Amino acid sequence: MARGDRAALAELYDRYAATMLALAQRIVGRAAEAEDVIHDVFLEAWRYSADYDPARGHVKSWLLLRTRSRSLDVQKSARVSKQSAHDDAWLAELGDPRLDTTAGADQTRVRRVLLALPPEQREVLWLGYFEGLSSSEIAERVGVPLGTVKSRVAAALGALRAALSDSMVELQ
């Protein structure tokens, strides 16, 4: 793609667009805006493909990070304030690793860890990641002190980090 190969862009699209669209729709809540986000992310990927450094991470991670960032921009620019229920249905939208050929043991492990987290920890991850709220905004939304939000986030991320570092050790 960095050499201008459009077939490479098409392959990237075929491989990751569905996952990106699911993430964008989950964040912005509207199909048309989510599709626009995906379009913008792929344009950005095309324009800056020469700058991609595989040593910094997998292309799927980069695309999903850009998708999340762009989705949050759309959500905030529209001044959308979602008051959605924080049930565990969002975990199902992470995708079934058995059906996703790009998924692996890490995705399965992350899902397992997320499901094992206390609901309070899952909620702060939801609000921070999918709704793009700051720690202060999360504290206000759930009615707990800022320090409590930060400790819940730290504990949840620590559990995820431990699960993923275990998988990295297994690969070595």
Q: pLDDT tens, position by position, for the chain (172 residues)?
A: 878 888 988 999 999 999 999 999 988 888 888 999 999 999 998 888 888 888 888 889 889 989 998 988 887 765 444 444 455 555 555 555 455 555 566 677 777 788 888 888 888 988 888 778 888 888 888 888 888 899 999 998 898 888 777 655 444 4
Taking the C-alpha atoms of residue 44 and residue 86, their distance in angstroms, rounded to an integer, is 32
Residues 72 and 94 in one domain: no
Q: Which domain holds residue 155?
A: 83-172
Residue 67 to residue 43: CA distance in whole angstroms: 12
49 and 124 in a common domain: no
pLDDT of residue 41: 93
For position 128, what pLDDT does the model report?
87
Neighbouring C-alpha atoms within 13 Å toward the C-beta of 11: 7
Whole-angstrom distance, CA of residue 44 vs CA of residue 134? 26
- pLDDT value, residue 13: 93
Residues 87 and 74 in one domain: no
**CA torsion through residues 148, 166, 119, 90, sign:** positive
* Residue 165 token pair: 């570092």
Q: Is there a single domain that holds both residue 14 and residue 35?
A: yes
Together in a domain, 165 and 87 = yes
Whole-Å CA distances, 107 to 75, 104, 113, 137: 26, 6, 10, 28
Strand, coil or helix: 80: coil
Tell me what pLDDT residue 15 has: 93
Count of domains in the chain? 2
Please give the pLDDT value at position 102.
54
